[in-house]
């Protein structure tokens, strides 16, 4: 067996080793010497890899290969029933930043019931959205306002803010939504967009006070 093939076999075996450090080194080796024969194995491993740092290295290794090969295969992975497969494929697409992937960022992914998948979809969408389509994307993202715990809400706020001024009409509309959590999240996002140094926690607390006062005002009226 030629030396190159032996190295390929060793790296492929390393990706399945029980030791995270060995898997990390194997992924690094694959990324250092890209070979299209690795792509399927890297994507397959992304779907099941339990260690965050190893997943990041797998993604890095995929970005080192030709996007013309990796992007279509990652798009296929977005249809997986495994949430981690969808989430990591979206994360990798956001790092590759090839806009041919944009049509694959569907409303279903942007509203995926799994928070990690949705968060990855939001980040990917912001990177890949074509010029002129940001306002429509903001409208879809706004349907997720008030969703989840702190990390999920912060991810959504950051994604919306990254779209720029086009989000303002959508946010203003959400500030009058019937759901108090939606109103709070919209107000906090608007505050954060105006003053990024405010910090998310402070913006949320301020938004809660605004919503509470607004509710009191309505009750008084």
For 148-168, write each residue's pLDDT tens digit: 998 999 999 999 999 999 999
> Average pLDDT of 30-56?
95
Q: What is the residue range of 183's domain?
A: 133-221
pTM of the complete model:
0.86
d(CA 21, CA 10): 15
Q: Is 78:104 a contact under the CB 8 Å cutoff? A: yes
Residue from 135, 133, 73, 132 nearest 98 by CA: 73
**Residue 193 resides in a domain:** yes
> Average pLDDT of 190-209?
70
Report CA dihedral (107, 109, 114, 117) to the nearest 10 degrees. Answer: -140
Residue 127 pLDDT > 60: yes
When the pLDDT of each residue in the chain is averaged and rounded to a whole number, the result is: 89
Q: Which residue has the higher pLDDT, 207 or 128?
A: 128
> Average pLDDT of 185-208?
74
**Residue 213 resides in a domain:** yes
**Residue 12 resides in a domain:** no
**Residue 221 resides in a domain:** yes
**Residue 5 resides in a domain:** no
- Name the pLDDT band for 1 (thresholds 50, 70, 90): very low
**Residue 112 resides in a domain:** no
Q: Into how many domains does the chain fold?
A: 1
**Residue 168 resides in a domain:** yes
């Amino acid at each position: 067996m030629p030396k190159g093939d032996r190295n390929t076999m060793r790296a492929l075996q390393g990706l399945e080793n029980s030791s995270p450090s060995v898997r990390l080194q194997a992924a690094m080796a694959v990324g250092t010497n890209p070979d299209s024969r690795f792509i399927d194995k890297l994507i397959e491993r992304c779907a099941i890899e339990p260690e965050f740092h190893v997943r990041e290295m797998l993604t890095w290794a995929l970005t080192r290969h030709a996007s013309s090969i990796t992007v279509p295969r990652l798009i296929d992975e977005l249809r997986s029933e495994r949430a981690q497969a969808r989430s990591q494929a979206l994360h990798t697409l956001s790092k590759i930043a090839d806009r041919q992937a944009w049509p694959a960022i569907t409303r279903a992914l942007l509203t995926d019931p799994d928070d990690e998948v949705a968060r990855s979809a939001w980040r990917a969408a912001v990177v890949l959205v074509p010029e002129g389509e940001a306002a429509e994307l903001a409208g879809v993202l706004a349907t997720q306002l008030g969703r989840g715990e702190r990390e999920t809400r912060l991810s959504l706020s950051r994604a919306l803010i990254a779209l720029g001024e086009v989000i303002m009409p959508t946010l203003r509309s959400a500030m009058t939504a019937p759901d108090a959590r939606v109103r709070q999240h919209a107000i906090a996002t608007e505050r954060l967009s105006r003053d990024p140094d405010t910090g998310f926690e402070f913006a949320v607390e301020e938004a809660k006070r605004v919503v509470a006062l607004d509710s009191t005002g309505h009750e008084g009226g």
